[in-house]
Amino acid sequence: MSVLIRKAVSQDAEILLDIYRPYVENTAISFEYKAPDIHEFRCRMDNLIEKYPYIAAEEQGQIVGYAYSSAFNERQAYARSVETTIYIRQDCRGMGYGSKLYTALEKMLQEQNFLNMYACIAYTDREDEYLTNASMRFHESMGFKTVGHFHSCGYKFGRWYDMLWMEKFIGEHKVVV
């Protein structure tokens, strides 16, 4: 597998939206009910690319997944923390693209002096056709730990789903004077 990890650009928005749309329409992985249109998706991308890493994985010239980070919280004291997101093309899951993307994302975040990575993940006690706990297991394999569990907070497809916050420290927390 010869995978190229590169910075995503605004021109990738249509392909990335095509990867994201099935997660919105067919799963409870995203708690959005309706996929954004291309204009909204591109605006979301452009707003993040200004400050945070936003990357794509390509194999043989085809984008197979993407990952990005965003503000964990807008307040200044959270400036060294980010929320991370990853989506892999449906037919490419379980092929190692996710770990390559997250490894690259983590390295870029460290280079920008971020210290904490957080992931907000849909979770269920009973896996079903809309949600498995593969995302939680993936994040655990990448060194994330569960730090929060919100019960029955997301309602989609006529059922309630939980949400986990997972955390990974990627730098030393020094006191700055």
pLDDT tens for 123-177 read: 999 999 999 999 999 999 999 999 999 999 999 999 999 999 999 999 999 887 7
Q: For position 43, which CATH number holds?
A: 3.40.630.30
Distance CA 14, CA 27 (A): 20
Classify residue 120: in a domain, yes or no.
yes
Domain membership of residue 175 (yes or no) is: no
Which pLDDT value is given to residue 61? 92
**Coil vs helix vs strand at 130:** coil
pLDDT single digits (tens) 91-131 = 999 899 999 999 999 999 999 999 999 999 999 999 999 99
Closest CA to 134 of 35, 56, 28, 31: 28
Nearest to 116 by CA among 153, 158, 161, 69: 69
Domain membership flag for residue 176: no
177 falls within a domain: no
- The answer to whether 16 touches 45, Cβ cutoff 8 Å, is yes
- Predicted confidence at residue 1, as pLDDT, reads 59
Domain with 84, as residue range(s), is: 3-169
Q: Could you tell me if residue 129 is inside a domain?
A: yes
- Residue corresponding to tokens 């280079």: 111
Task: Tell me how far CA of residue 107 lies from CA of 9, 46, 111, 115, 116, in angstroms.
Answer: 19, 21, 6, 11, 12
Residue 62 lies in a domain: yes
Q: Looking at the 3D structure of the chain, how many domains does it have?
A: 1
